[in-house]
Amino acid sequence: MSELYIGLMSGTSMDGVDGALVAFHQGRPEVKDFISLPYPKALLQQLHALCQPGEDEINRLGNADRAVSAAFSQVVLTLLERNKLSASQIAAIGSHGQTIRHHPQGKTGFTLQIGDPNSLAVATNIRVIADFRRKDVALGGQGAPLVPAFHHAVFANPGAARAVVNIGGIANISYLGPDDQVSGWDTGPGNCLMDAWIRRQKELAYDKDGAWAAQGEVDEPLLKELLAHPYFASPPPKSTGRELFNLGWLDSVIASQGHSISPVDVQATLLALTTSSLADSLRPLNAEHIYLCGGGAHNSTLRQALGAALPDCRVEDTAALNIHPDTVEAAAFAWLAWCFDHKQPGNLPGVTGAARKAVLGALYPAD
């Protein structure tokens, strides 16, 4: 008998809530359906504001916590209706929530995801497993990235050297080497700076296919200064987010250049920043195949640039491995919920820096 789980995810790009209906056959996941619903515009504005310090944060956080849960609930209910399923047929929901702060370093480091799992359980009448990252942080880890464990479970090939590259708001890589080798880390900005810049300049949510970036020229001095950020040179384990890579930081670097840079050239340079930071991390791994997932997998300009930077690698997306690139992260949180139920560890200490493996998550019953 297969077990049905629903995985829910919204990443640093905040471009919507992804939901994957996943059937597990003796632990092997099969994605049966996937949907993505956008956040309401007002909630998206609240979430963007919460990513930076501001006034009245506790009240705004509390309200957003419930509102994110409502958005996640709508994805679940839509999946159930579309697949003619009842709540009782779903073993559990694995909910990542929405990250609004990620500061995992130091003795009091923390990571914070909102989307009240109690409200989600009540609204859907399905038990919820959530809060996957903080056990890893409690064990001295970064709490991120968590997806390399899932990538290893579903994409590894003992005789091949593969890299799975997730390009969301932040980009991360999983290296799946021969002899069961696994490593992974956040490489830096994926789409977050490109999205923020085109939102400011053109009031567009994102640069479709990298078309605007393709019209510009890379400003090499600006790119060099952006890549001089200490994060890029720091060794793994490491993870990052909007706390480091945001418009405030970008504005300060642009202002330091001493020459004017057209908006379209900034966009081209931001695409080159994502490409360069990814290629610099991937090149030493000598992976034979690179598989892309996340929203950035659809950016044809970015894909071409990454292929040009890594001419010895075959670059394609995870559809070649039978999982659509849009579904991978949501499926990963369905898998983490399955791991919780089967008392299987969900982290890789070699990736996150945690002291040991651990079962991740906490249970929120529906009754």
Do domains 3-143+327-364 and 147-321 share one topology? The answer is yes
Residue with tokens 């057209």: 262
Query: Distance between CA 259 and CA 92 in Å, rounded?
Result: 55
Return the closest-CA partner of residue 133 out of 333, 335, 334.
Answer: 333
pLDDT of residue 159: 87
Residue 277 and residue 189 in contact, taking contact as beta carbons nearer than 8 Å: yes
Length of the chain: 367
Could you read off the pLDDT of 257-289 as tens digits, one per residue? 999 999 999 999 999 999 999 999 999 999 999
Residue 95 has φ and ψ, to the nearest 5°, of -110, 120
Which are the contacts of 163, defined by CB distance < 8 A and separation ≥ 6? 173, 174, 175, 176, 282, 285, 287, 289, 290, 291, 313
Distance of CA 352 to the CA centre of its chain: 15
pLDDT of residue 84: 98
Residue with tokens 């997998």: 297
pTM for this model (two decimals): 0.95
Side-chain half-sphere exposure of 74, counting CA atoms within 13 A: 12
Q: Show the low-confidence residues of the chain (pLDDT under 70).
A: 1
pLDDT of residue 253: 98
- 147-321 CATH fold: Nucleotidyltransferase; domain 5 (3.30.420)
pLDDT of residue 359: 98
Pick the CATH number of 3-143+327-364 from 1.10.3720.10, 3.60.20.10, 3.30.365.10, 3.30.420.40: 3.30.420.40
Strands (E), the chain: 3-10, 17-25, 28-37, 92-103, 110-114, 128-130, 162-167, 170-176, 182-189, 289-293, 314-317, 362-364
pLDDT of residue 351: 97
Residue 146 and residue 353 in contact, taking contact as beta carbons nearer than 8 Å: no
pLDDT of residue 218: 98
Return the closest-CA partner of residue 294 out of 273, 276, 278, 308.
Answer: 278
Return the closest-CA partner of residue 78 out of 25, 141, 121, 17.
Answer: 17
- Spell out the domain ranges in the chain: 3-143+327-364, 147-321
Handedness of CA 142, 143, 144, 148 (dihedral sign): positive
Return the closest-CA partner of residue 213 out of 270, 171, 165.
Answer: 270
